[in-house]
Amino acid sequence: MAGSGSTVVFRTQSAIEANVVTGLLKTRGISAVITYGAPQAIFPLTVSSMGEVYVTVWSEEADQASQLIGEFSDEVSARLISIPDEFSSVEKALGYRFSDHGLLEHALTHRSRAHEDASGGVDDNESLEFLGDAVLGFVISDRLFHECPDWDEGQKSKARSLLVSTSALAAVGEQLGLGEHLLLGRGEEKTGGRQKRSLIADTFEAVVAAIYLDGGIEAADRFIEVCFRDRLEAVRSGGLSSGLTEDHKSALQEWLQAHGKGLPRYELVGTTGPPHSRMFQSKVWANEKSLGSGEGRTKKESEQQAAEAALQALVLR
C-alpha cells in the first residue's frame, strides 16, 4: 500500500497501539496496513528500539480514517492497558524496564485473549515466541561454547536441548511469576491457563523476544544470564539435582522425543525396608535400553530419581 496512492494517518512508538488502530479501522471497512520507520535489525545485531510505527490507508480514505481515529481516541485508550501501573510488578520480577511497554503487553497476550477481541486489533504472542526461541537458543549456545570448551558438539547440543526444554522454561517462568500476569481469554482463564506449564514456557520465550526487541541483544543476554546461571552451572558440574529441573520425568520425555529415541518406560524393580519405612527402586528404559535407576520413599520419587540419573548420563556422556 505504501506509495503515492497511500497516506499515513497515525504514528506511534507502540506496535500494539498501531494494531489496535488498524483493527478498529477495519471494523469500519477501511483497509489499513502497518509499516515501520526503519528496517528492523536482523538477529543477532543490536537494536535499540522498534522505531516509529505508521498506520497507512488509501489516500481517498485518509480523511475518513483520520476522523474515525479522532473518534476512536477514547476507545483506543481504553483498549490499551496502563502497562506502567498494571505490569510494574512484572518488570520488577524480570529485572528489566521496557521503553516500549506495548511489547510487554504483546508478550503476555495469549491467543485466547486475542480471539476474544472483536476489532481484530490485538495480536497474540506466538510470533514473539518464535523469535524468543531463536534468541534463547543463540545465547545458551554462546554460553555453552565459551564455558564448556572441552565438550564436543553432541554434548553441547544435548545440554542446550535440556536447558531450553518446555519443563525447564516453565520452571523459569514459574519462578518469575509469569502465570499471574498472563492476558487470557475467559475460557482459558476458567480452565486453569495460568497454571499450564506449556503456556508459561511459551510466554517466557515471548518475553525474551520482547526484551530483545526493546533493548537489543545485550539486554536479552543479561536477562537470560540471570535466569539460567544456576542451571548452566548445574549442567557444567553434572549435578542436575542442583536445580536444572524439578520435573525430571517430563524433561526426560521431552529430550528423548526431541532426539527420536521414543518414550520412556518405568519399571519398579524392587523394594526394601519394613512396611513403615519402605524404599522403592525403579529403572527407566527407552527402546529396550536401560537409561538410569533411582530410589525413593515412594514409587513416584524413585521414578523421578531414575529420570534424573538418565538425564545426567545422556547430557554429559
Cell of 11: 504514528
Cross-sheet strand order for the sheet of 265-272: 265-272, 279-286, 289-296
Q: Is 222 helix (H, G, I), strand (E, B) or coil?
A: helix
What number of other Cβ atoms are within 10 A of residue 317's Cβ? 8
Host H or E run for residue 55: strand 53-58
Taking the alpha carbons at both ends of the chain, their separation in whole angstroms is 56
Q: Which of 52, 91, 126, 133 is catalytic?
A: 133
Q: Which of 205, 214, 221, 303 is catalytic?
A: 205
Overall residue count recorded for the chain in this entry: 317
Q: Is 202 a catalytic residue?
A: no
Q: What's the CA gap between 6 and 20, in Å, rounded?
A: 20
Residues in a beta bridge with 58: 6
Q: Is 230 a catalytic residue?
A: no
Show which residues are catalytic.
133, 205
